[in-house]
Structure 1
């Protein structure tokens, strides 16, 4: 069984009041992601990659189509029904700084999801945070710094650690290395690949960089104007 199966996915927007114009951001997309596998979505800006991701994660409502996660149709889930799904499907954004509270130390940022989802006892919290920071190859001395005191690469590692705290089965990586210099980009990609091998995580990897997705992904779908136009 595939972890994720998407069939006939559509997301239409409408602009204007008197002369409404239909915008087909996603227009009939089909794909599957196996457990422990990675699918790359590539294409120019505005082709619909991020809209696909947000719709799959149910951050935005689909216009049509079906989304199966572990064989369960999640297309029509609403409200509280989505909460358990949120732990299993996570996203890492392009700008790590925007994903972290600037007034919250790294330690507290990693502790927050553990407490919200009640994933460990209070006497286990410190060790759990230490384990998370070690998993992403950061020194524990960074735990008591604020986001503005970290480099871009360190910030992205913290965001990855925060996502890992929820033990997700699927991670959407949306241009996660595009704001980093080449050396740090390589380090982050190696980390993501290592986590996939060790933890069996599946990825939906969104990028405009074909070299990156060719190295990271098992399959590559090329998008243009809301459609998948080629498979590699």
Structure 2
């Protein structure tokens, strides 16, 4: 069953004050992601893959095209109507440290989205936070540390746990292992695979590394200059 369907997606930018230049960051992209499956977007820096992801998540306004999530056209949603969508579609960024408040303990960082979206009462908070840290195979003692006290791999696991707190159906993984050493990369990828099997999550997996994408994904789209130029 199709979870996400994207057709003729375009995102154009304009530069220059008087002589405006049109930059076609995304130029007519289309794909589908099935429930419980992973699709990879691969290409060199600047090819438009991250812009595709941010537009699909409605972090950017599309210039043209259609984005359908669970059978609902979300292309032109605005304001408050986007809030429920934010629970269903989440993103893991390349740099985990930039995704966390440096002055907030890990416990509070995991609790914050639960409180914002009203997903637990005060009696459930402690259990839910501890369940989340266990889900990503981290020790509970890390809950009371600050981000600067954790390694890169531990931080990325915390970010994954924070994303999982909202029970999303689609996760965009944007170069999630590119800043990690090879051993930790392997551990994070294995974790994402395991979560996919256990929770039925779908992924839009973005990378410049074809080997990683081939191992993670069911379908692969190769991008260049804002277009999908090849399927694998």
Q: Which residue of 2 aligns with 1:49?
A: 49
Q: Which residue of 1 aligns with 2:103?
A: 103
Tell me, in whole angstroms, the C-alpha distance in 2 between the residues paired with 1:123 and 1:70: 33
TM-score, with structure 2 as normaliser: 1.00
Secondary structure at 1:62 match in 2: coil
Tell me, in whole angstroms, the C-alpha distance in 1 between the residues paired with 2:20 and 2:115: 45
**TM-aligned CA deviation for residue 17 of structure 1:** 1.1
Matched, 1:33 2:2: no
Matched, 1:161 2:161: yes
**TM-aligned CA deviation for residue 60 of structure 1:** 0.4
Secondary structure at 2:196 match in 1: helix
Runs of 4+ in 1 over 2 A off after TM superposition: none
- The RMSD of aligned alpha carbons is 0.4
**TM-aligned CA deviation for residue 34 of structure 1:** 0.2
Tell me, in whole angstroms, the C-alpha distance in 1 between the residues paired with 2:113 and 2:10: 31
Q: Which residue of 1 aligns with 2:132?
A: 132
Secondary structure at 1:123 match in 2: coil
The number of aligned residues is: 232
TM-score, with structure 1 as normaliser: 1.00
Ranges in structure 1 where 5+ consecutive residues have no aligned partner: none
Tell me, in whole angstroms, the C-alpha distance in 1 between the residues paired with 2:84 and 2:60: 17
Matched, 1:115 2:128: no
Q: Which residue of 2 aligns with 1:85?
A: 85
Tell me, in whole angstroms, the C-alpha distance in 2 between the residues paired with 1:58 and 1:18: 29
Tell me, in whole angstroms, the C-alpha distance in 2 between the residues paired with 1:220 and 1:149: 36
Q: Which residue of 1 aligns with 2:72?
A: 72
1:24-69 Cα shifts (integer Å, max 9, x gaps): 0000000000000000000000000000000000000000000000
Secondary structure at 2:9 match in 1: strand
Tell me, in whole angstroms, the C-alpha distance in 2 between the residues paired with 1:95 and 1:202: 21
**TM-aligned CA deviation for residue 121 of structure 1:** 1.3
Q: Which residue of 2 aligns with 1:215?
A: 215
1:90-114 Cα shifts (integer Å, max 9, x gaps): 0000000000000000000000001
Tell me, in whole angstroms, the C-alpha distance in 2 between the residues paired with 1:117 and 1:76: 22
Q: Which residue of 1 aligns with 2:230?
A: 230
Tell me, in whole angstroms, the C-alpha distance in 1 between the residues paired with 2:72 and 2:87: 15
